[in-house]
Structures are given as C-alpha cells and as structure tokens.
Amino acid sequence: MTAAVLYGKEDVKIERVPIPVLEKGEVLIRVQAALTCGTDLKVYRRGYHAKMIVPPALFGHEFAGVIEEIGPGVKNFREGQRVVALNSAPCGQCFYCKKHQENLCEDLLFNNGAYAEFIRVPRRIVENNMLVVPKEISFETAALTEPLACVLRGLHETGVEIGETVTVIGAGPIGLMFMQVAHIMGCDVIAVVKHDEQVHSARHAGASKVVQFPKVANVIEAVRDMTPERRGSDVVIEAVGRPEAWEWAIDMVRKGGTVNLFGGCAKGTRVQLNTERLHYSEITLKATFHHTPDTVRRAFALVAERKIKAADYITGEAPLSKLQNVLREMLNRGGEIKTAIIPGH
C-alpha cells in the first residue's frame, strides 16, 4: 500500500509499505479521508511527538473509512461498514482510568498511520473508541470526531456556563471549534486572532467580537474593553501553545474566572505568572489534554446531529502524494484550516 512515513524534522516520504497483518481483535480500514491538524503539523515541524510517535513511523491520526478486513474475535463490526476510529484508547484498569481520567491513562495506547491507503486499528481502540458512521454523514465530517472530543472535554473541565463571556486565543481548527461549541452553548465569544483570513473564520464560527494582533497596541486591554465594565472574560481558552499567549490569558480573565491553558507549548517551556493577580483575584488555571471515551461519544453525537460539519473546517482537498506540499503550506500559514487527504486519488 501507499503510505506517508515520518523520518524526522520536516521529512515525510510517500512510500510503498506492506499492508498490515491483523492480529486478534484488530480491524483493517481502507482510509477514505484523513485530515491535517495542528498536532500533525507540530510533529512534522519537530520531527517527533514524545507521547504519540517516534520516527521512522507511519503518520496521521484523524480519519474515517470503510472496514476492509476484520481480525479473529471481532464481534461488533463487519466488513464494509463505514467507521471512524479514534487515535487512542485507555487501558481501563490503571489508577487514572479508575478516577475517570482516562486521558491520563498510564498505558494510553496511541495509533498513527492515517495518511495511507489502509490503517490497522488495534484491539483496544476497536473495543473502546471505534464507531459506525451513518451513511448520511460524510467521511470528512466523521473524521472531525477526534479534535471535537478534545474540545468538549476542555469546555467541560473548564466549567463553561450558558451566557458567559468566553475568549479564545487562536483561530486554528481547535480554536475555531472552541468558538463554535461555546457559541452553540449560548456564550458570548471573543476571538483573538493573528491573520487576516482568521477574522472571517472566527466570525463564521460564532465569535461576536474579534481582536487581531499585532494590529492592536495592547491585546489584553483590547479584550478587556470588549467585556462588561472591562472586568475581563469569564473564561479564557488559550489554543495556540505559545508562552506569551499563556501569559495574556491570565491577564484577560476576570477576578474569579477560569483560564484553560489548552495549547501545548514546546517541551521545556517556562512562563512568568503574576502571582499577586492569581492569588488576590482567585483565578483558576486549568490545562486539559486529549479526550476520553465519554467525550468521544458526545463529540460523535454532535457530528451525527450535523451540528458540526466538514464545510466549516475543511477548506481544501489533496491526494496523498501532495501531503508534503500541504504541510509546508501550513507551516507558511496559508489560508487553509484543514485539508482532507484522500489516499485513493
């Protein structure tokens, strides 16, 4: 089969590799659509991901497709079914799983290889995080389940309530999802963006107000000016993964508010925090990572109900042979939000 293989920093090659051989409980899926994402871009730029992938390795993790083959012992699926399989599954037995923090599982099993004609899905993911896709839902839309599940967990853990003012820093796919879901929840959304094309994307996602830097002299003051009595936002979500944005978030939130430091910074990053403000303003700092089987199912329900659609996020399509070009364009900050990689083209 043809597949993308990550060899290191900005080094992805499209090669012929063997079709995976299934073991007990596993499933082979013919990939119909694999989506680019910010995490894959980080992996491409850095050449690795400490938890998810060590090169040389098959690459990509947001996808949907059709079951090509089922391994021995698979009971709840059959060949020909349209499915979406998530990129991980917890063990269900460790300390964190028993605390309902499956995203922190001590043996969290990751799966990569979506940028390929076929992908093997391990038994644990088949049993815990693979779902049948209704025929009226496109493969591209179904593949949004994984990032949406991360966003839903972030909002739940942050305790966002109807009617609150929510500021989202960053207008990549994850940031836009935070905006859209917060808007659906009935929140007033303020977006902090950088690029001109992101202004329109943020408004389309539901942001009622947009701050664009560096076009404003002071991003923090610009956001506070947009909140009632300039008190600051009830909730601020940092969805960029840059230390300066983490610091902004803490100064944008109101007294008694909550900051979710969702964007993952590079390993070894340090930030400076105003301890007086944190203490005397009773600011809550949260950081949420990944998803759980529960948020996967809640995300899939939103997808199945067509509240989240591919057209809102997928702004391009390309064959697998062009993956390297697509990733390079993403590094150069093109106007694309997500690109659907179609292996069969």
CA 67 to CA 83: how far, in whole Å?
A: 7
Q: What is the dihedral of CA 303, 30, 146, 6, to 10 degrees?
A: -150
Residues 212, 317 within the same domain: no
Q: Residue range 58-73: average pLDDT? A: 97
> Does 24 have pLDDT greater than 80?
yes
Question: Going along 93-232, which residue ranges are E strands?
Answer: 109-110, 118-121, 130-132, 165-169, 188-193, 209-212
Q: Residue range 66-85: average pLDDT? A: 97
- Domain count of the fold of the chain: 2
Packing angle, helices 173-184 and 145-158, rounded to 10: 60
pLDDT value, residue 122: 98
Residue 291 lies in a domain: no
pLDDT value, residue 334: 61
pLDDT digits over 76-119, tens only? Answer: 999 999 999 999 999 999 999 999 999 999 999 999 999 999 99
pLDDT value, residue 220: 98
pLDDT value, residue 54: 86
pLDDT digits over 173-197, tens only? Answer: 999 999 999 999 999 999 999 999 9
Q: Residue range 121-136: average pLDDT? A: 97
Q: Residue range 29-45: average pLDDT? A: 92
> Does 161 have pLDDT greater than 70?
yes
Q: What residues make up the domain containing 115?
A: 2-144+308-342
Given the DSSP bridges, would you call strands 11-16 and 2-8 parallel, antiparallel or unpaired? antiparallel
Residues 269, 242 within the same domain: yes
Mean pLDDT of the chain: 95
Contact 117, 343 (CB under 8 A): yes
- 82: which 2 tokens? 């349209």
Residues 135, 11 within the same domain: yes
Residue 296 lies in a domain: no
Residue 298 lies in a domain: no
Q: Residue range 282-287: average pLDDT? A: 97
Question: Which residues, in sequence order, are CB contacts of 29 under 8 Å at separation 6+?
Answer: 63, 65, 66, 67, 68, 83, 85, 118, 119, 121
Given the DSSP bridges, would you call strands 130-132 and 82-85 parallel, antiparallel or unpaired? antiparallel
pLDDT digits over 228-238, tens only? Answer: 999 999 999 99
Residue 74 lies in a domain: yes
CA 235 to CA 154: how far, in whole Å?
A: 12
Choose the weakest-confidence range: 18-22, 104-108, 341-345: 341-345
Choose the weakest-confidence range: 115-129, 144-158, 261-275, 322-336: 322-336
CA 2 to CA 19: how far, in whole Å?
A: 9
> Does 50 have pLDDT greater than 80?
no
Contact 37, 87 (CB under 8 A): no
Residues 136, 14 within the same domain: yes
Residues 155, 221 within the same domain: yes
User: What is the CB neighbour count within 10 angstroms for residue 279?
Assistant: 9
CA 192 to CA 222: how far, in whole Å?
A: 10
Given the DSSP bridges, would you call strands 62-70 and 57-58 parallel, antiparallel or unpaired? unpaired
Q: Residue range 207-223: average pLDDT? A: 97
CA 156 to CA 237: how far, in whole Å?
A: 12
pLDDT value, residue 345: 67
Residues 270, 320 within the same domain: no
Mark 153-187 as b/e (b = at least 16 C-beta within 10 Å).
bbbebbebeeebbbbbbbbbbbbbbbbbbbbebeb
CA 175 to CA 230: how far, in whole Å?
A: 23
pLDDT value, residue 281: 97
Residue 292 lies in a domain: no
Tally the C-alpha atoms within 13 A of residue 196's C-alpha that lie toward its C-beta.
1
pLDDT value, residue 335: 63
Task: State the burial class of residue 259 (Cβ atoms within 10 Å of its Cβ: 0-12, 13-18, 19+).
Answer: buried
Q: Which DSSP category does 267 fall into?
A: T
Q: What is the CATH number of the domain that holds 233?
A: 3.40.50.720
Q: What is the CATH number of the domain that holds 91?
A: 3.90.180.10
Residue 195 lies in a domain: yes
Choose the weakest-confidence range: 156-160, 205-209, 272-276, 330-334: 330-334
Residues 161, 85 within the same domain: no
As separate numbers, helices (DSSP H) first and strands (DSSP E) second, the chain gives 12, 18
Task: State the burial class of residue 320 (Cβ atoms within 10 Å of its Cβ: 0-12, 13-18, 19+).
Answer: buried
